[in-house]
Structure 1
Amino acid sequence: MGLFYWTIAADNLRGLIIFCVKEKKRQKYLKIQANNLSYKRLLFYYYFNAHVLPLPSQ
């Protein structure tokens, strides 16, 4: 079961990276100083919950 979740998380990793890059650019565009800790926490949260949370299409 755990391996199944890890496989799905790995499949979504590319989409996750794209999402994080776009989100970081959006925050920069809005001149919001992104907290590095909260950004890593967002990455951690999405990566380990990829089997529960659908990634944004864009």
Structure 2
Amino acid sequence: MEKEHIEFLNQIVNSVEEAGIQLEQAYNSKNSEKFNKAKKFILQVQKKINGEIK
């Protein structure tokens, strides 16, 4: 695997981990706006990953 691909995947993983933390914090504090924002970000990343796989 090329170094650029590894760096890209690492960046995606870090972004999704951070979004997951934000999602959990928003859920625990019952902040629906932040929850939906984090959820939307995660779904966008998932869509981009699916697009790259196809």
TM-score, structure 2 normalization:
0.46
- Structure with the bigger RCO (C-alpha within 8 Å, sep 6+) is 1
Higher helix residue share: 2
